[in-house]
Amino acid sequence: MQSVTIYTKNSCPFCRKAKALLDSLGVRYEEHEVTFDPALYASIKKRTGMNTVPQVLVGDDCLGGFSEIDALHREGKLLPLIRDEQV
């Protein structure tokens, strides 16, 4: 199983939805709250090229935000990606 990391802000409804989806699937993740950490936020924006949160990473790959992981889940691809299985 690959590591899952999510970058969030405390006032972000899509961050809450992304965490709820991962929780409902039993996925363990490490959360980094960037609301009061502009250096960390700048670093992850530079790394992923995304300017919004949430940002969900599986291993070293950025899957995107809530809309992207929700679409992957609906297609049956999210858990296999996290489990490092062929999709």
Q: Is the pLDDT of residue 86 over 80?
A: no
CATH class of 4-82: alpha beta
pLDDT tens digit string along 17-73?
Answer: 999 999 999 999 999 999 999 999 999 999 999 999 999 999 999 999 999 999 999
Which pLDDT does position 65 carry in this prediction? 97
Band of pLDDT at residue 1, cut at 50, 70 and 90: confident
Burial code (b: 16+ CB inside 10 Å, e: under 16) for 49-73 equals ebeebbbbbbeeebbbbbebbbebb
Tens of pLDDT, residues 59-75: 999 999 999 999 999 99
